[in-house]
Amino acid sequence: MVASPGVTYSPVTGKKTLRKGCVVITGASSGLGLATAKALAETGKWHVIMACRDFLKAERAAKSAGMPKENYTIMHLDLASLDSVRQFVDNFRRSGNPLDVLVCNAAVYQPTAKEPSFTADGFEISVGTNHLGHFLLSRLLLEDLKQSDYPSKRLIIVGSITGNTNTLAGNVPPKANLGDLRGLARGLDGLNSSAMIDGGDFDGAKAYKDSKVCNMLTMQEFHRRYHEETGITFASLYPGCIATTGLFREHIPLFRLLFPPFQKFITKGFVSETESGKRLAQVVSDPSLTKSGVYWSWNKNSSSFENQLSEEASDVEKARKVWEVSEKLVGLA
């Protein structure tokens, strides 16, 4: 019997078996990334590469989450350094693992910073980490995804409701807005140019929301450029408001105290880390979520649906520009 790629037939029982999938998850040392890693590792069907900047923290997190040892590997990745991204790609290739799914999940959020901080390459840190680090990583690893023989290959970039101005949450100031990309085009270095994509004054919360818009635009540009040719599924998602994660570590204590009950009882947008992990794990492995170019969301009873992005987050021309400018910044063009 001829086996389709990634699938083997037992000569004894004649049963089909899918080999273990290999998924790379960035920022798997806490929050959504950790919960997703755990959910996938526990199925026994996945080997999770936890791509993390803090090796020891990741090791401790995996252990205390009770993840089966044989189902994960931790590899060092600091998205705030383009050298580290390239090093990770080399190390991953040397590890000999196939790449079946890549999840770009890591992020930083600096809501209280008065001044910008910068990555090793001099980019404002939220856009530098959340967008540019992932942009280089996913562009390089696209080759590895192409080579995988797994039946459903996916590249997932985590987005958010707060980058979408067609929602109430997206209208809480400061609102995302990439403008004409003048700041991005000049390198976001805060010296010769603004640290903000639109060229405006620094605002950490806006920089985060802008980075999420870039994440969602990048996913769609990948889809337009590569879906047909490669068959890879490109997807983004809003996992729900996971109000208890480390994302809010730099917010003021009063916010951290009130935000979870506010989301639980007032907006009702709250989800637990465990629940959010199940949602992202679904986007990684559910056989029914193979549609490419989609931004997934979930409703109250946790069933997934294709959500509508804001005008800016679905702007085809802007997506192409963000792609081209980002290529230059990370040294791909």
Give the catalytic positions in this structure.
208
Q: How far is the CB of 135 from ligand NDP (least distance, A)?
A: 14
Q: Please choose, from the candidates 119, 46, 117, the residue with its C-alpha nearest in 3D space to the C-alpha of residue 85.
A: 119
Q: Is 259 exposed, middle or buried (0-12, 13-18, 19+ CB in 10 A)?
A: middle
Q: Encoding tokens for residue 114? A: 């008065």
Partner from ligand LMG, ligand PMR, ligand NDP, none contacting 129, C-beta within 5 to 8 A by type: ligand NDP
What is the per-residue binding string for ligand LMG in 168-207, x denoting contact by CB under 6 A?
x--xxx-------------------------------x--
Establish if 108 lies at the interface with ligand NDP (CB under 6 A): yes
Partner from ligand NDP, ligand PMR, ligand LMG, none contacting 31, C-beta within 5 to 8 A by type: ligand NDP
Task: In whole angstroms, give the CA distance from residue 332 to residue 177.
Answer: 25
Give a three-class secondary structure readout of the chain. Answer: CCCCCCEEECCCCCCEEECCEEEEEECCCCHHHHHHHHHHHHHCCEEEEEEECCHHHHHHHHHHCCCCHHHEEEEECCCCCHHHHHHHHHHHHHHCCCCCEEEECCCCCCCCCCCCCECCCCCEHHHHHHHHHHHHHHHHHHHHHHHCCCCCCEEEEECCHHHCCCCCHHHCCCCCCCCCCHHHHCCCCCCCCCCCCCCCCCCHHHHHHHHHHHHHHHHHHHHHHHHHHHCCEEEEECCCECCCCHHHCCCCHHHHHHHHHHHHHHHCCECCHHHHHHHHHHHHHCCCCCCCCEEEEECCCCCEEECCCCCHHHCHHHHHHHHHHHHHHCCCC
Establish if 163 lies at the interface with ligand NDP (CB under 6 A): no
Q: Which is nearer to ligand PMR, 71 or 215 (CB)?
A: 215
Partner from ligand LMG, ligand NDP, ligand PMR, none contacting 252, C-beta within 5 to 8 A by type: none
Among 120, 266, 316, 333, binds ligand LMG (CB under 6 A): 266
Residues 62-81 that bind ligand NDP (CB under 6 A): 77-80
Q: How far is the CB of 27 from ligand NDP (least distance, A)?
A: 3
Q: What angle do CA 187, 145, 239 make, to 5 degrees?
A: 70
- Amino acid, single-letter form, for residue 33: G
Q: Which is nearer to ligand NDP, 190 or 199 (CB)?
A: 190
Among 86, 225, 262, 293, binds ligand LMG (CB under 6 A): 262
Q: How far is the CB of 165 from ligand PMR (least distance, A)?
A: 12
Partner from ligand NDP, ligand LMG, ligand PMR, none contacting 258, C-beta within 5 to 8 A by type: ligand LMG
Residues 205-224 that bind ligand NDP (CB under 6 A): 212
Residues 184-243 that bind ligand PMR (CB under 6 A): 205, 208-209, 241
Q: How far is the CB of 129 from ligand NDP (least distance, A)?
A: 5
Among 75, 89, 99, 161, binds ligand PMR (CB under 6 A): 161
Q: How far is the CB of 104 from ligand PMR (least distance, A)?
A: 14
Q: How far is the CB of 313 from ligand LMG (least distance, A)?
A: 17
- Amino acid, single-letter form, for residue 93: R
Helices 134-147 and 204-230, packing angle to 10 deg: 20
Establish if 267 lies at the interface with ligand PMR (CB under 6 A): yes
Residues lying near ligand NDP in the complex (CB under 6 A) = 26-27, 29-33, 52-54, 57, 77-80, 105-108, 129, 158, 160, 212, 238-239, 241-243, 245-247
Binding interface with ligand PMR (CB under 6 A): 109, 111, 160-162, 168-169, 172, 205, 208-209, 241, 247, 267, 269
